[in-house]
């Protein structure tokens, strides 16, 4: 293993002579960038951190250009949590709900209530795929493990952690076996037991190298170079114009006449897009004179 202390990165690792792979991620500045545009209560921010770490870990499911999304919807004070990773390890996400009267409520089920978890893979130019499971596990890690068991049929272990400063995650996964089945089962059992000893404190305080050494120093493990992760929003003026067009000419023109200026703010990054009456006229009727 290499000596490094990567921040805001994802690293792959492999166990030699096994069919087991892994991912480990730490998000510090990226996590703070994501929170900077929002006003989440502390317990909501912690839940959001786990989702962001989770989508970072499973981003390798996206083999081509496109994006992968983890989204939970529930009937609790938090109605939606969404975390998205697009090609190039670009992260964004958002939480929606009624945060005014949370009090001491915290934790996955207390915040989301009865909920479902959806993982959506959207390869560019290819068919979209979505898997949905009930959010029945004790925590997000268990729910994701169940998803992989049900949808991908791959034994998977996941640990997620977050605090006010950073979010972290680790995953190990058994791939379809190409070796002796008995050895494969023994390897998975051994590594799973070791994996479960990792604490949240260790995840948030130790480097990737130190976490893996603490767990697996008796195994032959190859840790690959870190891939940088960063907050990046995919909003643009062109996409905002497309959204206005989808609303319909009559409604948008009426808004423009009444308000004189249409201001649209991206809920992910707070970027503002201004549309004057002239902009709206040119958007729907490029050849016509501006509205008055």
CA distances from 161 to 43, 203, 262 (A): 13, 7, 41
Domain shared by 50 and 108, yes or no: yes
Q: How many distinct structural domains can be found in the chain?
A: 2
Q: Do both 168 and 37 map to the same domain?
A: yes
Q: Are residues 145 and 243 in the same domain?
A: no
pLDDT at 292: 47
Q: Are both 208 and 243 inside the same structural domain?
A: no
What the block records as the tokens of 94 is: 């958002």
* Sign of the torsion angle spanned by Cα atoms 235, 60, 57, 78: positive
Considering the domain boundaries, does residue 3 fall inside one? no
Range of the domain at 137: 9-231
Q: Is residue 4 part of a domain?
A: no
What distance in Å separates the CA atoms of residue 185 and residue 187, rounded to the nearest whole number? Answer: 5
Predicted confidence at residue 6, as pLDDT, reads 55
Q: Confirm whether pTM is higher than 0.95.
A: no
Beta bridge partners of 272: 265
Q: What is the pLDDT of residue 88?
A: 86
Nearest residue to 264 (alpha-carbon basis) of 281, 285, 287, 242: 242
Residue 120, domain CATH: 3.55.30.10
Q: What is the CA radius of gyration of the chain?
A: 22
Q: Is 271 helix (H, G, I), strand (E, B) or coil?
A: coil
Contact 210, 204 (CB under 8 A): no
Same-domain check for residues 112 and 191: yes
One domain, residues 227 and 241? no
Residue 215 lies in a domain: yes
pLDDT by residue for the chain (292 residues), tens only, comes to: 433 435 799 999 999 989 999 999 999 999 999 999 888 999 999 999 999 999 999 998 777 778 999 999 999 999 999 999 998 899 999 999 999 889 889 999 999 999 999 999 988 888 888 999 999 989 999 999 999 988 878 899 999 999 999 999 999 999 887 668 888 899 999 999 999 999 999 999 999 999 999 999 999 999 999 999 999 887 778 888 888 888 888 888 888 777 778 888 888 877 788 888 788 878 887 655 544 4
CATH of the domain at 273: 3.90.1280.10
Q: For residues 215 and 253, what is the distance between their CA atoms, to the nearest angstrom?
A: 61
pLDDT at 127: 87
215 and 273 housed in the same domain: no
Asked whether residue 211 falls in the same domain as residue 104, the answer is: yes
Question: Are residues 150 and 253 both part of a single domain?
Answer: no
Q: Are residues 216 and 86 in the same domain?
A: yes
Residue whose C-alpha is closest to residue 57's, from 232, 203, 190: 203
């Amino acid at each position: 293993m290499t000596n490094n202390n990567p921040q805001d990165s994802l690293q792959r690792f492999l166990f030699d002579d096994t069919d087991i792979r892994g991912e480990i991620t730490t998000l510090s500045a990226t996590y703070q960038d994501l929170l900077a545009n929002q006003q989440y209560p502390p317990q909501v921010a912690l839940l959001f951190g786990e989702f962001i770490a989770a989508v970072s870990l499973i981003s390798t499911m996206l083999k081509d250009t496109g994006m992968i999304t983890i989204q939970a919807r529930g009937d609790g004070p938090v109605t939606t949590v969404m975390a998205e990773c697009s090609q190039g390890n670009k992260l964004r996400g958002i939480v929606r709900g009624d945060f005014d009267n949370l009090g001491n409520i915290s934790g996955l089920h207390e915040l989301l209530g009865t909920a479902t978890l959806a993982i959506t893979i959207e390869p560019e130019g290819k068919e979209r795929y979505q898997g949905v499971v009930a959010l029945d596990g004790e925590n997000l890690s268990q729910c994701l493990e169940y998803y992989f068991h049900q949808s991908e049929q791959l034994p998977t272990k996941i640990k997620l952690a977050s605090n006010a400063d950073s979010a972290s995650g680790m995953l190990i996964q058994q791939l379809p076996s190409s070796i002796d089945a008995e050895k494969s089962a023994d390897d998975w059992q051994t590594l799973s037991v070791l994996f479960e000893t990792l604490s949240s404190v260790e995840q948030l305080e130790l480097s990737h190298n130190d976490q893996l050494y603490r767990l697996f120093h008796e195994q032959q493990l190859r840790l690959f170079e870190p891939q940088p992760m960063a907050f990046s929003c995919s909003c643009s003026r062109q996409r905002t114009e497309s959204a206005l067009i989808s609303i319909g000419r009559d409604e948008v023109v009426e808004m423009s006449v009444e308000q004189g200026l249409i201001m649209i703010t991206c809920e992910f990054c707070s970027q503002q897009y201004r549309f004057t009456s002239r902009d709206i006229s040119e958007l729907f009727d490029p050849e016509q004179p501006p509205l008055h």
